Structure 1
Amino acid sequence: MRRGRGKEKGSASVLAVGVASVSLVCVAAAGAVGEASVGRASVATAADAAALAGADTLAGFVVGDACEIAARAARVNDARLESCSVTGSEVRVVVGAMILGVAVTSRARAGPPPG
């Protein structure tokens, strides 16, 4: 004689759907966090490349304007040069990009060591 099982029929299916839904949301959130982290690192790399390209121009290794060359290096790395300043033989840049619909920026400096 089985009593009480009639009320719980199918409850395991509802629980399984709920667990699967929560799992999918967690995986999607982890993917978004991972993509944002990789995107942030890419913007930092673009800033470093832009600053180094500008400094190479000032050192005479590349012909052209330091900020134009820095902007080109940023574009090659899927970013945009937001600002560039040259002081002596030092280049400072701010590079930005859109990551998951959010504006992300990174700063970099290249030139001889301070001191």
Structure 2
Amino acid sequence: MLDFDMESQFSPPPHGPPISPPQAGAGNERPSSGQHLTTFTHEGRFWDVFLEFVDDALRPGSCRGQLCFVPSDRADHEGAVRTTVIIIEPTFEEAMGRAAGFDQHHLAAMLRSVQKLSD
């Protein structure tokens, strides 16, 4: 499990449209406006993992999140890869807790699955 102090590090996401992937040439700009969960290694690279919240007008009382994976050493032509919405919880705190419960093996499996889709 990931170790974090939810109250001091995280604030509820602003409401708005889903987050767009970073543009090529993003350089040192933050690759995601989501909440940073962790950094882990996979196939010789470091990957930053963010939890991005997606609004759903049909379900305004829930927090829906997708994971965004960004290689820490990404080149200008590389962008983020994202899961579909995989976390649906009634509150922001519960969604963050659910995402923090993924270990490195879960994250690596999800990264492999979205990499195959983007190839």
Scaled by the length of structure 2, what TM-score is found?
0.28
| Greater Rg by CA | 1
Length-normalised TM-score, structure 1: 0.29
